[in-house]
Structure 1
Amino acid sequence: MKIIWIDGTFGSGKTAVANVVAKKMRNSYLLEFDALQMKYKPTSIFDLFGERYPESKKYLIDGLIKEMLKIIQEGSYDYLIIPIALINDDCNERLVNSFANIENYHFILTAANEILYQRIHTQEKRDVDLAETYMSNAIMYLNNHYSDALRIDTSDMNIDNVAEEIVKVIVG
């Protein structure tokens, strides 16, 4: 089992790229963090009324860990692909560091700020206010952490090209 983290801030293309990577990688499982928000519910008042950013919600991170462990223990897949913004210390410690004993690849998708803002304003079903509120903190966190991650500037790339670059790194 190999874990493939597809990381980045709003508008970087994490989910779209992860979907293409999952189609290109045989025997892979796409675990979409965003989808867990429908499955897992708040376990405390703080979770219900705390920060708006999903990756800052303990119950969602707990749910992701539970889902990851279930898939890993099942042993049916070669690749676990997870599009997620790992932009706080809790995500770093509980996800990246906790699963460091499993072979993993960490990709951070980046783009010029004006392109990120343009993308978030043109995406359907995007909480623009949420994205704009957390954008600068997310960029700063990603710039100051994960020195071993492979960064891909998606500014002038289409989704297929980004996915091909990721697949090339993983399978050679």
Structure 2
Amino acid sequence: MKIFRKVKEVYKRHQKAMHSMSDDDILTIIRNNNGRITATGLARQTVLTYIQASLKLQSLYDKGYLKITYSNSGMTQIMVLKAQTLPTIASSSKLTDAKVLQVVIQAGGKITPAALCVALECSIDEARKKLDELQMKDVFDLEVTDKGAILYVLNDIDCFQDSKVKNLPK
């Protein structure tokens, strides 16, 4: 009977580890690795064991997110993101409208994707995508500097310069 209890405990730990990482989490890790990863690489970067990482990658492959390539020696299997999955991954960005607006207000109403990237510690692509999203919602206007840099200019900066808005709790 003790052996069954032990097997059950091991199985519960395995299930907990497998559920701790969502497909979006794994896809984000792969994207941050230039769209390529091995089971060993995934296991090193997460709480998953090699076998669990291998199972997760196989699951993503079965769902059509990944394709298989091999190293030059042919000894290592590398999972590579398929091109059409990239927009799906990008939509899982952790940048919120509020965070972006707070940074832009602190910057005086004008910001570049590079400045937002540094301020929020995100990728330049995420920063640009979020600024473009907000620009499409008419939150920002685009302005080009003499040097050719694109600035995102907050449309209603005057509203945020009001003393009541400045004193809001953070």
TM-score range, shorter chain: under 0.3
* Higher normalized contact order (CA 8 Å, seq sep 6+, divided by chain length): 1
Q: TM-score, normalised by structure 2?
A: 0.25
TM-score when normalising by structure 1 = 0.25
